[in-house]
Every structure is written in C-alpha cells, then in structure tokens.
Amino acid sequence: MELIASFQQYESMRIWPFIAVLIFILTALAVPASWLIKWAWARLYIDKPHPKNWVLILFWATYAVVVGALVVLAIADEMMSQAPRY
C-alpha cells in the first residue's frame, strides 16, 4: 500500500521542466562541441583546415533528433496530464 501511495504522490508531477533544463544543457554543450570538432579536424588534418560538411551535418542532425524527441516527450507528457481520468 505504501508503494501505491508513494506513486500517487508523484503521479501528477510534470516532467517537462526537467526536459527543458536538459535541452538547455544539451544546447550549452553542443555549441562548444562543434567548435571542438572543428579544432580537432584542423589539428588532425592540417592540409584541410575546415571539417567536411558531413561531419558537422551529422553532429547537428543528431542533436536535432535528440532535442526533437525530448520536445515530443514533453508535449506528450503535457497532453497526458490534460487527458480525462476514468
């Protein structure tokens, strides 16, 4: 019974604020990471000072997919909180 009571205590808790903070942290880390990719590429390939486009496109596409999935999760969480309970 205590387990059910403890679950009901957190049942109405929303997760979108945590997702918003996670997106903020990911963004704060993604920009320096792209700079690091450019720097590492310049150090490894001295004759080619800029990374090929596919490297950064792959990096930012992965970032967009992760952030997009988190946004969809936050929207679904909010929609579920508005759903009628039977």
Residue 43's pLDDT is: 77
Could you tell me the pTM of the whole model?
A: 0.64
pLDDT, tens only, 47-76: 665 656 777 888 889 999 999 999 998 888
Q: How confident is the model at residue 19 (pLDDT cuts 50, 70, 90)?
A: confident
Cβ atoms 71, 16 nearer than 8 A? no
- Give residue 66's Cα distance to chain centre: 5
